[in-house]
Amino acid sequence: MDNKWLYLIQNITENTAIACYEWIGKGDNIAADRAAVNIMRKELNKLPMNARIAIGEGERDKAPMLYIGEKLGKGGEDIDIAVDPLEGTTICAKAGFGSMAVIAISSKDSFLYAPDLYMEKIAIGKNFPNDIIDINKSIRKNISNLAEYKNCDAKDIVVMMLERDRHQILLDEIRSIGAKVRLIADGDISAVIAAASSDSDVDIYVGSGGAPEGVLAASALKCIGGKIQGKLVFKSKEQISRANKMGIKDMEKVYEVDDLVKNDVIFSATGVTDGYLVKGVYKSKDKFITETLLFNSYQKKSHKVITKKY
């Protein structure tokens, strides 16, 4: 991809985060999400591209989301987009920890094209052998493999996961092993990046969350390194039918980074509220100050960008 897209995409997540600023702590997650979606759609439509939302937060009947299959841009290069305009809508509404505006772009047909489903995920950092994690094996086996390779005890492994009722059995098993568990309210994109980052004490991320977040997390890992495995979770025949229509035939497929993101990618995430990875947007007199993670896979470069906007 061309470097021209770096600033353009960074600018979009910055403006989206700024649009969410007035909704931080206001208790209205729907209004916060609507503000993010509206400004991101407006900004994307300004760009010289023929773009498609390959994976996002809903389909056409779920407006005001940036729906899967939506066409954007004013003409030009064929681009696919993976998007979460406001990761952590409830976090934003409660002025909590770790909401972000997130987008990734790549060439046409690069991203997994799938319905807005849940996805089981497991992720670790780079420089590990390919067989260290296996989503089809027990969490006990995965933690044991990781501890053995790191030459430490299972009790020294830090696991990050979403605090959800559906994870209770998984949580109990992890604690029975003796590993440490860091529960988060929301934000599994940042959690996967934290597990992959050498600057974090998180060793592994596990659990189920949105498929769009899985693709966005894989986009980040394609740039900075790290391993992720994901399996789509189907809860009905209707979901399977929708997936079939979008080209998905193997319902048990394990997706890794290059399955989720086939070609070079640019990833941008701007903090809305303070989080593990970036600080939230804040206002100082007549200007907004934002902090953004900007990654690209073709140069394997990562930047943390602080911007002042008047």
164 assigned to a ligand binding site? yes
75 assigned to a ligand binding site? no
213 assigned to a ligand binding site? yes
Six-digit token string for 193: 């990046």
Identity of the residue numbered 306 = I
77 assigned to a ligand binding site? no
Identity of the residue numbered 188 = D
Q: Which residues contact 182 (CB under 8 A, 6 or more apart)?
A: 158, 159, 160, 161, 202
CB 125 within 8 A of CB 226: yes
166 assigned to a ligand binding site? yes
140 assigned to a ligand binding site? no
69 assigned to a ligand binding site? no
The secondary structure of 104-125 as a DSSP string is EEEETT-B----S-EEEEEEE-
165 assigned to a ligand binding site? yes
CB 105 within 8 A of CB 89: no
Cα separation, 77 vs 81, whole angstroms: 12
252 assigned to a ligand binding site? no
Question: At which residue do the structure tokens 């970036």 appear?
Answer: 278
2 assigned to a ligand binding site? no
Of 41, 57, 186, give the one whose Cα is nearest residue 115.
57
87 assigned to a ligand binding site? yes
Question: At which residue do the structure tokens 């937060």 appear?
Answer: 57
Six-digit token string for 226: 């790290």
175 assigned to a ligand binding site? no
57 assigned to a ligand binding site? yes
CB 207 within 8 A of CB 135: no
Q: Would you list which residues are annotated within the binding site for Mn(2+)?
A: 33, 57, 84, 87, 213
Q: Would you list which residues are annotated within the binding site?
A: 33, 57, 84, 87-89, 118, 164-166, 186-188, 210, 213
Q: Would you list which residues are annotated within the binding site for substrate?
A: 87-89, 118, 164-166, 186-188, 210
